[in-house]
Each structure stands twice: as structure tokens, then as C-alpha cells.
Amino acid sequence: MKAMTIKQYGKTIPLELTDLPIPDMGEQDVLVEIHAASINPIDFKIRDGKVKMLLNYKMPLVLGNDFSGKVIQTGSKVSKFHIGDEVYGRPRKNRIGSFAEYLSVHEEDVALKPENLSFEEAASLPLVGLTTWQAYHEILQLKPDQKILIHAGAGGVGTFAIQLAKEMGAFVATTASEKGFDLVSSLGADRVINYKEEQFEEILNEYDAVFDTLGGDSLNRSFRILKPHGKIVSVSAVPNRRFAVENNLGFIKRLLFSVVSRNIRALEKKFKVDYHFLFMKPSGEQLTKIKHLVEKGSIRPVIDRVYSIEEAQEAVQYVETGRAKGKVVIQVKKPK
């Protein structure tokens, strides 16, 4: 099969088109013919070696963390899917590789794709959808009429996050450049802050939650806008000791994460705010709930560009510029 791989970690390491065997299957796996995959920041973080503390892969490595496609084979104990089913999903972290013609995935990590979406549209949703779902339902426990700030609302996660927050009845503020104003407003944002001209912490106050997709200075300033006992969830900053404990990581990683997150711990204490780092988990059950929201019109995919699999390197470089509005998708199988 054709696949886009890297041979080693490194920011300058290019994706190369490679011929590889079709992945082996377990008894609870489905073999999916990939039609489309989407690019997410985790792809180039993995390439750069930035998540080796949590995930260390063997080379050559096929990148790609979500997909849509058709089931072409099922394991002997698979009960949820049949050959020919159109599905979408996010594979387990040790089984990534959707920038390829085929992928073997555990059936628990897959769902039937929304019937009203193309494969390209469906492929744009799994990672950002699951990330947001888990941030809102499992960590922030977002409730109607609560106020949430979503950073980078025109980005891949942000476009989904705005829509789900509005579906849940929250008041949504978001940051965007002037070029992204119309987009985030069309998705339901109640307050849009031009991050190039305004300081959000000087405008917002008494918020219940922050969904951070940027890390760094934006995260640090976010503590100032929250009520006491408000919550921040980040997918871009550093893990802390709480994350290590919740994920049953060993003593060394607990100690290390305590050290690297000491600045965040100080901000938690100063502002009486709870900080959580989110490393999303695959879930076919949650994707099914997202499917229903898409089919009833509460969530719509936002796609910036579609590239062929041969153009995956160019697509990754475009996402790294930070200019994409919504998701960038790789078309693996061209429609007939």
C-alpha cells in the first residue's frame, strides 16, 4: 500500500511516499480502506519528537491521526461493523497511520460516519471532535449559560469547539484575526476578540472556563479572566502532575511533569483556578454522539483545503503556517 512516512524524528524531516505491507489485523479490528484523513498539530509534534515522553514510535512511521473510509475486512470477534460500512475514527495512539491506503483499527475506536457528509468532510472531525467533547463533558463539565473563552476560534479545534459550546447552551468568546471574524461569527461566537489589536484579559472577566489550544503566553494570561474555581483545559501546554496521576504514569514522569509545570501550578494557586492538560482518547461511542449532532445540523465541518496523499508534505507545511481556517484534509482515495 502507499503511505506517507518519516524515517526519523526532526522538524525538517519530510514525509516520503513509501510502499508498505497492509497492516495486520487482530480479532477485534476492522481493516479500513482510507478515503480521507485530516492533518492535526499532533502530527507535526510527533514528527518533531515533542511527545516522545508520552509516545515513542518505531521507524519508519506512518503519520495521520484520524480518517474516514470503508470497512473491507473484519476480525473474527468484531460485532459492530460489516464489510462496506462507511466509517470515521481516531485510532489508538500506538496504532496511528491514516496517511495511508489502509489502516487496521480496533472496533471500539470507530463509528459510522455522518450520512450527510462526504468522506473528506467526515475525516476532518474525529480528532477535533473528540478533543472538544472530552474537554467539555469530562473536564470542564460545561453547563448552559456558563461563559467560555475558546482560543483560536478559526482554527481546526476552534471551529468545532465554538459549535459544540453553543449546542450546549454556553456563552462563547473567542480570539481570531480580522480575517477570521466572519467565520467564527457564523459558527455562533457571541464575542470575538481581535488578538492582533486587543488583549483579551483586559476585556473579559468572571468566565467559567477556558479552552486553550495555543499554550505559552496566551495560556498564562487566561488565568486572569476566570472566576475563582474556574477551569482551564489545554491541549497545547505542558502536562502537570495531575495528568500523570490520572493516567497512571510512573514516579519519574510524575516528578518531571511537576517540575515543568511549576509556573502553571503557581498561577493555579494565585488565581484559585484548576488547570488540566488533555491528551484525548479515542472513542467510537463519542463519535456516534457527534455523528447525531452533525446529522441534525448542530455541527458542520469547516475545511480550508484538500490535498492529495502525494501532497501530504505540502499540506503539513501549510498547517504549520497557522493560516488555515478550519481543517486541512488529505484525500487518499479519489472518488470514481
Q: Please check whether residues 116 and 196 belong to one and the same domain.
A: no
Q: Please check whether residues 272 and 131 belong to one and the same domain.
A: yes
Give which of 237, 316, 278, 281 is closest to 43, Cα–Cα: 316
Q: Please check whether residues 121 and 168 belong to one and the same domain.
A: no
Q: Please check whether residues 145 and 184 belong to one and the same domain.
A: yes
CA angle 144, 157, 324 (to 5 degrees): 140
**pLDDT value of residue 253:** 73
**pLDDT value of residue 259:** 66
Instruction: Describe the strand order of the beta sheet including 2-6 as a list of residue ranges.
Output: 16-19, 2-6, 61-62
Q: Please check whether residues 78 and 205 belong to one and the same domain.
A: no
- Within a domain: residue 282? no
- Within a domain: residue 63? yes
Measured CA to CA in angstroms, residue 321 lies from 42, 43, 111, 121 at distances of 14, 14, 31, 22
Amino acid letter for position 196: K
- Within a domain: residue 336? no
- Domain around 36: 2-125+301-331
- Within a domain: residue 28? yes
**pLDDT value of residue 183:** 97
- Within a domain: residue 236? yes
In whole angstroms, what is the distance from residue 100 CA to residue 270 CA? 47
pLDDT tens, residue order, the chain (336 aa): 999 999 999 999 999 999 999 999 999 999 999 999 999 999 998 999 988 877 789 999 999 999 999 999 999 999 999 999 999 999 999 999 999 999 999 999 999 999 999 999 999 999 999 999 999 999 999 999 999 999 999 999 999 999 999 999 999 999 999 999 999 999 999 999 999 999 999 999 999 999 999 999 999 999 999 999 999 999 987 776 777 677 667 766 777 677 667 888 899 999 999 999 998 999 999 999 999 999 999 999 999 999 999 999 999 999 999 889 999 999 999 887
Q: Please check whether residues 72 and 152 belong to one and the same domain.
A: no
- Within a domain: residue 165? yes
Other C-beta atoms closer than 10 Å to the C-beta of 196 total 10
Ordered alpha helix ranges (H), the chain: 41-48, 119-123, 126-134, 156-167, 181-186, 200-203, 216-222, 241-246, 251-260, 262-271, 284-295, 312-320
In whole angstroms, what is the distance from residue 100 CA to residue 185 CA? 35
- Within a domain: residue 266? yes
**pLDDT value of residue 327:** 98
Q: Please check whether residues 32 and 141 belong to one and the same domain.
A: no
The β-bridge partners of 61 are 6
Asked whether 224 and 201 are in contact (CB, 8 A), the reply is yes
CATH code of residue 145: 3.40.50.720
Q: Please check whether residues 107 and 139 belong to one and the same domain.
A: no
Q: Please check whether residues 137 and 257 belong to one and the same domain.
A: yes
Domain endpoint, select from 277, 293, 322: 277
Q: Which helix (H) or strand (E) holds 68?
A: strand 67-74
Q: Which residues contact 307 (CB under 8 A, 6 or more apart)?
A: 314, 315, 328, 329, 330, 331
DSSP 189-228: -SEEEETTT--HHHH--SEEEEEESS-HHHHHHHGGGEEE
Other C-beta atoms closer than 10 Å to the C-beta of 56 total 11
CATH code of residue 6: 3.90.180.10
Q: Please check whether residues 25 and 65 belong to one and the same domain.
A: yes
In the chain, how many domains are there? 2
Asked whether 273 and 226 are in contact (CB, 8 A), the reply is yes
In whole angstroms, what is the distance from residue 189 CA to residue 183 CA? 9
Q: Please check whether residues 228 and 316 belong to one and the same domain.
A: no
Reading the block at residue 247, the C-alpha cell is 493516567
- Within a domain: residue 131? yes
Q: Please check whether residues 196 and 269 belong to one and the same domain.
A: yes
Question: 0.85 exceeded by the pTM?
Answer: yes
